[in-house]
Amino acid sequence: MVDVLLGLQWGDEGKGKIVDYFAPSYDVIARFQGGPNAGHTLYVNDKKVVLHQIPSGIFHENTTNLIGNGVVLDAVTLRNECDKVKAFGVDYRKNLYISERTHLILPTHRALDKASELQKGNEKIGSTLKGIGPAYMDKTGRNGLRVGDLLDKSFTTQYIKLRLKHQKLLDSMNFHEDISAWEEEFFDALEFMRQFKIVNGEYFINDKIRQGKRVLAEGAQGSMLDVDFGTFPFVTSSNTISAGVCTGLGIAPQKIKDVIGVTKAYCTRVGSGPFPTELHDDMGEELRRIGNEFGATTGRPRRCGWIDLVALNFACMVNGVTKLVMTKADVLDAFDELKVCTSYVVNGEKTNQVPFQMTKVAIEPELKSFKGWKQDVTSLKKAAQLPEVMKQYVDFIDEYLGVKVAYISNGPGRDQLIEI
Q: Which residues pair with 341 in a beta bridge?
A: 308, 367
Q: How many angstroms separate the CA atoms of 228 and 137, rounded?
A: 15
Q: How many angstroms separate the CA atoms of 306 and 268, rounded?
A: 8
Q: How many angstroms separate the CA atoms of 347 and 58, rounded?
A: 48
Q: Which residues pair with 370 in a beta bridge?
A: 338
Q: How many angstroms separate the CA atoms of 98 and 102, rounded?
A: 7
Q: Is 227 helix (H, G, I), strand (E, B) or coil?
A: coil
| Sequence-ordered list of residues with C-beta below 8 angstroms from that of 398, at least 6 positions apart, any chain | 324, 404, 405
Query: 180-193 and 75-87 are packed helices; what angle lies between their axes, rounded to 10 degrees?
Result: 60
Q: How many angstroms separate the CA atoms of 335 and 266, rounded?
A: 12
The catalytic residue positions are: 12, 40
Q: Using the CB atoms, write b or e for 269-279: b if 16+ within 10 Å.
A: bbbbbbbbbbb
Q: What are phi and psi of 390, to 5 degrees?
A: -65, -40
324: left (phi over 0), alpha (psi -120 to 50) or beta: beta
Count the helix, strand and coil residues of the chain and give each as a percent rounded to the nearest 5.
40, 25, 40
Is residue 270 within 8 Å of residue 302, measured between CB atoms?
A: yes
The candidate with the shortest Cα–Cα distance to 135, out of 195, 186, 203, 84, is 186
The candidate with the shortest Cα–Cα distance to 223, out of 308, 155, 330, is 308
